[in-house]
Structures are given as C-alpha cells and as structure tokens.
C-alpha cells in the first residue's frame, strides 16, 4: 500500500496527535502512516521507517517538546530531508519553531493545527501537493495502525483551544519587531479614523442672497467655503465666520483670533487684523482695534472713521449708534455727532 503522508511524532503525544491524523486522513481521503504499535523495540524498526518515508510524498512533523527530545523523530526528519521529501512542521504544543528543528528548518512555514483556519490551510495544501482532485470521504479507512473507534471522545475537535486563546498564542509567537510594527499600524489606523471622522462636514449653510457658495463646518469646529457641487474653495481653517455674506463679503476669524473679510471665492480682501468686526452695512463695517477702540472701515479695509469710540454699531439709513466717555450718541458717515441719546 502506498503511504502518501508520513507522521513523525513522539509516542508521548499520541493522545493529542491521533485525532488530528484521523481528521486529516478523512478530509483528503489518502493514506497516513503512523506508528502506534511501538515497533521501535524491534530489530527491523529502521528498515520499516525508511521504507515508509521512501514511499511517502509528505512528512508531517508533529512539533512538541516531546518530539524535539526524541532521537527517532530527529532521525526521521533528517533522513526525509536527505531524500528530498516535503517536510511540514505541525505545531501541536508550544507557540513556534524551536530547538534543533528551527536550526535545520528555520525558514519553513509551520502550521498551528490547533487553529481551525490553519487546519483547513493544511488540508488544502495536502490536496495540492498530492494532486487530489475529487475527494470521497470514507471514515477511518485510510489510516494504517489507527486505534479502534472507541478513542476517548475528549480528544475530539470540540475540545480544541478557544479561538481567543489561539489568537493570543499566535500573537505571542510573533517576533518583537512584528509586534511593534503591528502596534504602530493599529495606532495609525485609529488616528486616521479619528481624523477622518472629525474632518467630515457637520454643518453647511448658504452664503446668502444669490451667491453660489456654502459656508461649511467640520467636526473639529473649523469653517471653510465650498460650492454646492462639493468643490472646495477654502478648506476648513477658520475659527469662526459671520452668518452670511453681506454686500459680497464674509467676516472670518483666523487661528490668531483676528477678524478679516473674504469674498465669495475665498480670497482675503481685508486682512485679518481686527480684534472684532461686524458685518458690512451701507458700505461700512464697525471694527475694534487691538487697543479696544472702535471705528469703521470701507470695503478696501481703509479706516474712514477713526477707532476712538468705546463701542460702535452698524449703519442704517446713513446713521449709526456709538458710545464715548459721555455716553451713547448717533453719528453720520463722516463721523460727526448728529445727536446724543
């Protein structure tokens, strides 16, 4: 009988290994050779092992602390390597390649058969390596020397490690550099996700009148300008803006806390130098300078009424209310006091 798969393992691991061997053999429908009779006590043991390895195409080395300390498993694997056999390390105990096996085969991918995903991967690889196209599953028939069906049910697949433990073990098996890179990547994903979430537009409003522009606000509380189509005129960068464009200009507050004015394209028309600015009305806007004095500027930013008032309000019908040291009064557009209130 041909033996497609040779199982190299420690007899101390028989209770762990045997259920996996049964599952693999059933899944692929091919022969597995495994010693369950203790033939190592016989004088013909070496010949039997050599013949079994010569007949196989794949050697599954069931890696554990016990198999690493077994002189026979080491001999089997070294001989199989010399014969050009495909050697696949299968973790049944521990977290990674180690010991003499890692020294000889450190660049070989291993399978952690305690993981359902990894077990499926092994089955699919075996089908490819053994050129299996149509597998008909037949319970137990293809495994030589398998124990009777009354095997302890505690060895079934249902008793494999929980998924969270497999994930934990896989994480522990990673190198420090890989763990560091994974942590950096995870942190970067979180930061980028927060940035993307906060950068979304949370508010948009029409600029007012017939202007084809919207004033928008993002999650960071910054304001900018966009076309209704979504085209960005000014990225969200201002701390605050007026409610609407007045007389074609919008007052905006920069990151330094200073106010200026932009047009509907986002171009800065009046530089941001005012401690406060009101909306334009009748061609003038009330402003407050750095010394706390209030006055009025025109649409070019020129001061037309000096900043000498304690407070100033917008013009209406050619007049505006202001306050000086003597109280409230009304001025005209030349800055002359018309009356006191």
Does residue 14 belong to any structural domain of this protein? yes
Q: Which domain covers residue 341, as residue numbers?
A: 275-341
Give the pLDDT of residue 103.
83
Q: Is the pLDDT of residue 332 over 90?
A: yes
Q: Is 299 left (phi over 0), alpha (psi -120 to 50) or beta?
A: alpha
Reported confidence tier of residue 317, pLDDT bands at 50, 70, 90: very high
Question: For residues 92 and 209, what is the distance between their CA atoms, to the nearest angstrom?
Answer: 74
The confidence score (pLDDT) of residue 144 equals: 46
Question: Is there a domain that residue 254 lies in?
Answer: no
What pLDDT sits at residue 44? 67
- Of 120, 137, 163, which residue sits at a domain end? 163
Residues 106/97, Cβ–Cβ less than 8 Å:
yes
Give yes or no for residue 140 having a pLDDT over 50: no
- Do residues 154 and 15 both lie within one domain? yes
Domain boundary among 141, 163, 185: 163
Rounded to an integer, what distance in angstroms lies between the CA atom of residue 92 and that of residue 119?
11
- Do residues 154 and 288 both lie within one domain? no
Mean pLDDT of 262-286: 95
Residue 223 maps to a domain: no
- The answer to whether the beta carbons of residues 289 and 275 sit under 8 Å apart is yes
Residue 1 pLDDT greater than 60, yes or no: no
Q: Please tell me the distance from the alpha carbon of residue 253 to that of residue 240, in angstroms, as a whole number.
A: 5
User: What percentage of the chain carries pLDDT values higher than 90?
Assistant: 38
211 within a domain of the structure (yes/no): no
pLDDT in tens, 152-205: 434 333 444 566 767 777 777 788 888 899 889 989 998 888 877 776 877 788
Q: What is the largest CA-CA distance in the chain?
A: 126
For residue 17, give both structure tokens: 């290994």
Among 163, 189, 222, which residue terminates a domain?
163
The residue among 302 and 183 whose pLDDT is bigger is: 302
Q: Which of 54, 65, 173 is nearest to 112 (CA)?
A: 173
Q: Going edge to edge, which strands form the sheet with 232-238?
A: 201-206, 214-218, 223-226, 232-238
CATH of the domain at 74: 3.40.50.10140
For residue 40, pLDDT over 60 is answered with: no
Instruction: Report pLDDT for 308.
Output: 95
pTM for the whole thing?
0.46
Burial class (CB in 10 A: 0-12, 13-18, 19+), 82: exposed
Residue 340 lies in a domain: yes
pLDDT at 216: 92
287 in the same domain as 157:
no
Assign residue 298 the CATH number of its domain. 2.40.10.480
Q: Which of 64, 72, 179, 147 is nearest to 110 (CA)?
A: 64
CA atoms of 246 and 208, how far apart (whole Å): 8
pLDDT tens per residue, range 89-127: 999 888 778 888 888 887 777 888 888 888 888 888 888
Give strand pairing partners of 329.
Answer: 322, 340
In this structure, is residue 280 part of a structural domain? yes
Per-residue model confidence as pLDDT tens digits over 41-84: 454 678 888 888 888 989 999 998 888 888 888 988 899 888 88
Please state, rounded to an integer, the average pLDDT across all residues of the chain.
Answer: 84
Quote the number of domains for the chain: 2
Q: Is residue 184 part of a domain?
A: no
Look at residue 205 in the predicted model and tell me its pLDDT.
82
Please check whether residue 244 lies inside any domain of the structure: no
Tracing tokens 């560091």 back to the chain, one arrives at: 180
> Rounded to 5 degrees, what are φ and ψ at 117?
-65, -45
**How far apart are alpha carbons 235 and 252 in whole angstroms?**
13
């Amino acid at each position: 009988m041909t033996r497609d798969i040779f199982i190299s393992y420690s007899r101390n691991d028989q209770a762990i290994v045997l259920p996996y061997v049964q599952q693999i053999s059933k899944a692929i429908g091919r022969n597995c050779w495994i010693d369950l009779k203790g033939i190592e006590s016989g004088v013909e043991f070496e010949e039997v092992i050599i013949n079994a390895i010569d007949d196989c195409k794949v050697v599954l080395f069931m890696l554990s602390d016990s198999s690493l300390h077994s002189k026979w498993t080491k001999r089997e694997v070294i001989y199989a390597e010399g014969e050009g056999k495909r050697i696949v390390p299968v973790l049944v105990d521990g977290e990674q390649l180690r010991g003499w096996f890692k020294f000889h085969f450190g660049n070989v991918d291993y399978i952690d058969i305690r993981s359902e995903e990894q077990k499926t991967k092994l089955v699919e690889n075996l089908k490819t390596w053994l050129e299996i196209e149509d597998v008909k599953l037949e319970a137990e028939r293809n495994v030589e020397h398998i124990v009777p069906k009354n095997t302890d049910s505690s060895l079934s697949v249902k008793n494999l490690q929980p998924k969270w433990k497999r994930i934990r073990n896989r994480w522990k098996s990673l190198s420090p550099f890989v763990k560091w890179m994974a942590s950096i990547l995870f942190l970067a994903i979180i930061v980028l996700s927060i940035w993307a979430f906060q950068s979304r537009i949370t508010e948009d409003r029409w600029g007012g009148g017939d202007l084809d522009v919207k004033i928008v606000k993002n999650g960071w509380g910054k304001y900018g300008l966009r076309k209704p189509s979504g085209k960005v005129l000014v990225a969200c960068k201002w701390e605050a803006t007026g409610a609407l464009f007045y007389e074609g200009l919008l007052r905006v507050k920069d990151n330094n806390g200073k106010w200026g004015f932009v047009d509907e394209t986002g171009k800065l028309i009046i530089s941001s130098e005012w401690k406060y600015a009101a909306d334009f009305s009748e061609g003038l806007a009330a402003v407050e300078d750095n010394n706390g004095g209030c006055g009025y500027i025109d649409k070019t930013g020129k001061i037309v009424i000096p900043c000498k008032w304690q407070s100033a309000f917008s013009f209406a019908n050619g007049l505006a209310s202001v306050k000086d040291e003597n109280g409230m009064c009304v001025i005209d557009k030349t800055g002359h006091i018309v009356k006191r209130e």
